[in-house]
Homo-oligomer: A and B are copies of this chain.
Amino acid sequence: MLTKIAGGITAPQGFKAAGVHAGIKKNGNEDVGLIYSTVPAAGAAMFTTNKMAAPPVQVSRQAIERGAARAIIVNSGCANACTGEQGLKDAQVMALETAKALNIDACEVLVASTGVIGVPLPMDKVKAGITQAAAALSENGHEAALAAIMTTDTFKKSCVYEFKLDGKTCKIAGIAKGAGMIHPNMATMLSFITTDAAIAPAILKKALSEAVELSFNMISVDGDTSTNDMVTVLANGQGGNELITSTDSPAYQEFYAALKVVCTELAQLIVRDGEGATKFLEINVTGAGSFADAKLAAMAIAKSPLVKTAFFGQDPNWGRILCAVGYSGAKSEPEKTSLDIGGLTIVSNGQGAAGFDTDKLKEVMAAKDIAITVFLGMGEASATVWTCDFSYEYVKINGEYTT
């Protein structure tokens, strides 16, 4: 039984958070965030597969190897990416300063950054911000911490759920930032998840990896995989359940279901707030020869600028969807392919559906949430990808980002 509840990243027991304005962002908003478990916690994380992985990713990747972490220090306004040796030193200093302020070990600190690429961090401001954030840590700090990870996001992305493990009430909460440079591969831009469930690190890692594969790794805003993608989960065991040590246990199934719901909800919120997005598109590819094929086809549709602009303009140019399937690399044959948009059958086994009505399709495309289903007729596998449309506003936001 999974119940949605109010609150934020500090809802699970034993977590505190803070967010402060250190002066990195020009607009005066919070730009240094801190999430902290008052007791040691199991930790797992997934990172970008971008070869230009930013220094904070490098530092966090090493720290999480132990399967434990207690603090996440994050800044927005500067991605500390493509910053060379100095960038790596700066990320290490962020971990060290956080550890010092919290009286913990530097290897217990994960570091994350988001913002402009190629600019060095203003370390004096960052250091002062860390001291200030550590002093401000509280159970009410979740809103400020969430504000501190936002860049071009237009709304806050957060959710909290309660569930039972061995009769004990446990909680799981997550926050995320998104908006642009969203085409995760292993993890999305930034997402931090806390839970007071007790779960062994190796099992936590497996759960995260599977949940991410079906949530964050199934969304795309613009096809650009960021240098700073990171999703982490800290599990501090304060919920009091018996430590989960096997994926075969019913408790694991409960926990995994909760984690997957949080990851999926945050991933979908990222798409809904995609830069310039006016529509939320769910792309289902069914009847594929394999999951990989289904994902290839769904992602090709999700990334196609022609499909995305057609939905923005509510232009019933559905051929572009099948065109994307055709170049996706997925096994397909025109005469076995069917297409359905918002419940309207457009193509059936490669033939235009009888009685198909362009005006009805226009009506369907006027909705804000639209489901597209492509049936390949090649097998039993399926995949669902979420994306948004491509608007004037996307061009505006990204033509004016640094200036």
The minimal Cβ–Cβ distance linking A31 to chain B, given in whole angstroms, is 18
Knowing A51-B327, A323-B117, say if A398 contacts B224 (CB, 8 Å).
no
Q: B395 touching A324 by the CB < 8 A rule?
A: no
Q: What residues of chain B lie closer than 8 Å to A316, measured between beta carbons?
A: 402-403
User: Can you report 17 residue pairs joining A to B where beta carbons are below 8 Å apart?
Assistant: A48-B327, A50-B327, A79-B319, A82-B319, A82-B323, A116-B317, A116-B319, A117-B317, A118-B319, A180-B306, A223-B303, A223-B305, A227-B326, A305-B398, A315-B399, A315-B403, A317-B401
Q: Which residues of B contact A53 (CB under 8 A)?
A: 326, 334
| A313 interface residue (CB < 8 Å to B) | yes
Q: For the complex, what is the distance from the CA of A305 to the CA of B305, rounded to whole Å?
A: 9
Give the distance to chain B from A265, nearest Cβ to Cβ, in Å.
Answer: 25
Cβ of A306 and Cβ of B82 under 8 Å apart?
A: no
Number of copies of this chain in the oligomer? 2
The chain B residue sitting closest to A328, CB to CB, is B51
Q: Whose C-beta in chain B lies nearest to the C-beta of A223?
A: B305
* Bound-state Cα–Cα, A352 to B401, Å: 20
Say whether A395 contacts B398, CB under 8 Å: no
Known: A52-B323, A181-B323. 4 other contacts (CB 8 A): A84-B335, A118-B319, A224-B305, A313-B401
- One of A19-27, A233-241, A386-394 at the interface: A386-394
Question: Would you call A134 an interface residue if the criterion is a C-beta within 8 Å of the partner chain's C-beta atoms?
Answer: no
**A: number of interface residues (CB 8 Å):** 73
- A57 vs chain B, min Cβ distance (A): 11
Smallest beta-carbon distance A359→chain B, Å: 11
Contact status B85-A351, CB under 8 Å: yes
A105–chain B nearest beta-carbon distance, Å = 27
Query: With A52-B332, A320-B117, A326-B53 as given contacts, are A309 and B395 in contact (CB-CB < 8 Å)?
Result: yes
CB-defined contacts of A119 to chain B, threshold 8 Å: 319
A226 to chain B: closest residue by CB: B323
The verdict on A256 contacting chain B, using a C-beta distance below 8 Å, is no
B334 touching A51, Cβ below 8 Å: yes
